[in-house]
Homo-oligomer: A and B are copies of this chain.
């Protein structure tokens, strides 16, 4: 993929629709979906709607036969409104409102995540007889992830076994175990270790006469930002082998990709609205910032960034900041941009299809970025080497 060619296309979109604009290419979403399904044996993709809930993405995945991981009632309603059957939804948030559980159950959803006694009680009361799966935490493995999720979510293997038993006592149907190695995890072996942990819960359940059949490997497959990542093929191979080695080859493998499904399908185009010098620092301010889609920049995410039309010019060091009256609204304090970048230049941030517009606010009265669907990348997302 030629970066200058992609950037010219992005420029045309920005000129037509204004900035900030998130340009999404559905071809890439489709390719990402197919790559996952092709590589992980006996798998189902439950797309994590929270990563990017735009209706066009949901419709595409509906047509591809995807399943969906939902976090709240509004997400369920959105999927029902486009004809996704409740059998294709899993209510994967371990912190559900009681009335949302009722709503889900009354609309046919029968699959729920749990990691605590109280959540099991809520489901037993409001969604009797449903399938549940227990989320275990993956202590230690998340050192390789950009966003660990362990402390808030999941429980120990020992406690998970108790929860499986408790669910049966309350006449629920435990079908398996889920884990999440942390968002944007760089070490494939973590999936193997997690699946080995899962196998302990399966084993103990079997001893209690409970036959489970599903391993939910969560999300966490990384998207290429600035550093190199293991490929989907590599991680899939580890998952496939670990499932056979530790659980059994007929196990249903549930995947919950969010970032790895839509991240590489999007590019955010912003305009430079001011350049100024502060002491020795050169500051560039754009019309999108951390309150308008670029939230993850203040965590660990280093997007690849380029000034459109200045790809071949000499670079310099800059501070890149957003447009609001808030000092937190700074994306990067040390980024390389074309030295002569100036007002009205377009700056593109690649691989911004996930967890961008979903985090947008209207802070300072400024509206979230528009979302436009265009065939920008044609067949594959932009990678550095081409």
Chain A positions 292-333 with a Cβ under 8 Å from a chain B Cβ: 299, 321, 323-330
In the complex, A37 has a CB within 8 A of chain B:
no
Judged by a CB distance under 8 angstroms, whether A98 is at the interface is yes
The answer, among B152, B156, B344, B361, for a CB contact under 8 Å with A330, is B152
Chain A, 147-165, CB within 8 A of any chain B CB: 147-153, 155-156
Within the complex, what minimum Cβ distance (angstroms) separates A33 from chain B?
A: 20
Instruction: For A92, give its contact among B48, B71, B279, B325 (CB under 8 Å).
Output: B325
A308 to B: closest C-beta gap in Å: 18
Contact of A118 with B by CB under 8 A:
yes
A373 contacts the other chain (Cβ, under 8 Å)? no
A117 at the interface (CB under 8 A from B): yes
A17 at the A/B interface (Cβ < 8 Å)? no
Chain B residues within 8 Å of A35, by CB: none
A365 touches B323 (CB 8 A): no
Q: Which residue of B lies closest to A333 (CB)?
A: B151
CB distance from A340 to the nearest CB of B (A): 14
- In the complex, chain A residues 45-84 whose Cβ is within 8 Å of any chain B Cβ: 48-50, 53, 70-75, 78
Interface-located stretch among A166-174, A186-194, A226-234, A270-278: A270-278
Contact of A118 among B50, B271, B274, B360 (CB under 8 A): B274
Pick 14 A–B contacts, CB within 8 A, sort by A. Answer: A72-B323, A74-B365, A93-B325, A95-B321, A118-B274, A122-B274, A122-B343, A149-B327, A151-B330, A152-B329, A153-B325, A153-B327, A156-B279, A358-B361
Question: Which of the four size classes fits the interface of chain A?
Answer: 35 or more
| Contact call B275/A118, Cβ cutoff below 8 A | yes
Report Cα–Cα, A75/B366, bound state, in Å: 8
Distance between Cα atoms of A94 and B283 in the complex (Å): 13
Q: Scan residues 348-366 of chain A and give those whose CB is less than 8 A from a CB of chain B.
A: 358-366
A142 to chain B, nearest CB (A): 9
C-alpha gap A122/B274 in the complex (Å): 9
- Contact between A276 and B118 (Cβ–Cβ < 8 Å)? yes
User: In the complex the two chains form, is A50's CB within 8 Å of B325's CB?
Assistant: yes
A residues lining the B interface (CB < 8 Å) = 48-50, 53, 70-75, 78, 92-98, 115-119, 122, 147-153, 155-156, 271, 273-279, 283, 285, 287, 291, 299, 321, 323-330, 343-344, 358-367
CB distance from A133 to the nearest CB of B (A): 15
Q: Which residue of B is nearest A147, CB measured?
A: B327
Besides A70-B365, A95-B285, A149-B326, 16 new A-B residue pairs in contact (Cβ under 8 A), listed by A number = A72-B323, A72-B364, A72-B365, A92-B325, A93-B325, A95-B321, A95-B323, A97-B273, A97-B287, A117-B276, A118-B274, A118-B343, A119-B276, A147-B327, A152-B327, A152-B330
Q: Which residues of B contact A365 (CB under 8 A)?
A: 49-50, 53, 70-75, 78
Let me know if A324 and B71 touch, CB within 8 A: yes
